[in-house]
Amino acid sequence: MKKILTIVGLLVSVLYLQGCASGASVAGMTSTKTIDSLKVRMADSITVAPAAGGKATNPLWTSQVGSKEFETALKDTLANNGVLSSSNSKYVLHPSLIKLDQPLFGIDLKVRADVNYVLKNRASGQELMNQTINSSHTATVGDSFVAVKRLRLANEGAIRKNIELLLHRLAELPLN
C-alpha cells in the first residue's frame, strides 16, 4: 500500500510540475530590435498578408505557435521599425510557418523555426524575395523550471529571432 501511495504521489508531483501548455505569446515573439536603414529604405511600405502554417495549442499536449499570434508579432515588429503600412502599401509580405522543430523532453529545450517569407510588389506582382529563414532558440532550466513553460519560451525565442533575421534580409534587399 505504501508503495502505491508513493507512486501516486510521485505521479501527481510530475503532473503538477508539468502544468498545462500555453501557446506562444505575441509579446514573447515580438522583437524590439530596430534597424535604422530599414526604416529609411522602406518607411510605411509593407502590408502583411495573413500568416499560414501555425497551429493552435492543445493545453494537454505541447506549446505551439498560432498563425494569428505569429502574424501579430510580425506586424508589431515591423511597426516598431516604421515599415508597416496602415493603408495602401507598396509591398505585401506573405509569411508562412513551415516547420517548428520541438524536442519532446529534455533539460535545455532547443526549438528550430523555418519560416518562408515572400515579398511582392503590390502594383506589379513582382516577387522581390522568396526566402525560407531558419532560426533557433534554447530555453534552459534557468529560464523556467517547468518544462511546458520552457518549451513556450523556446518557441517564442525561435520566432523572435526569425523575425529579426527577416528585418536584416529586408534591409539588404536591392530595391528599385
Measured CA angle at 174 (ends 173, 176), to 5 deg: 130
Does 16 score more than 60 pLDDT? no
Whether residue 58 is predicted with pLDDT greater than 70 in this model: the reply is no
Q: What is the DSSP letter of 124?
A: T
Cα 96 to Cα 170: distance, rounded to the nearest angstrom: 16
Reduced to 3 states, what is the DSSP secondary structure of residue 76? helix
Q: To the nearest whole number, what is the mean pLDDT of the chain?
A: 85
Domains annotated for the chain, with CATH where assigned, are 20-172 (3.30.160.150)
- Rounded mean pLDDT, 14-25: 60
Q: What is the pTM of this model?
A: 0.83
pLDDT higher than threshold 80 for residue 107:
yes
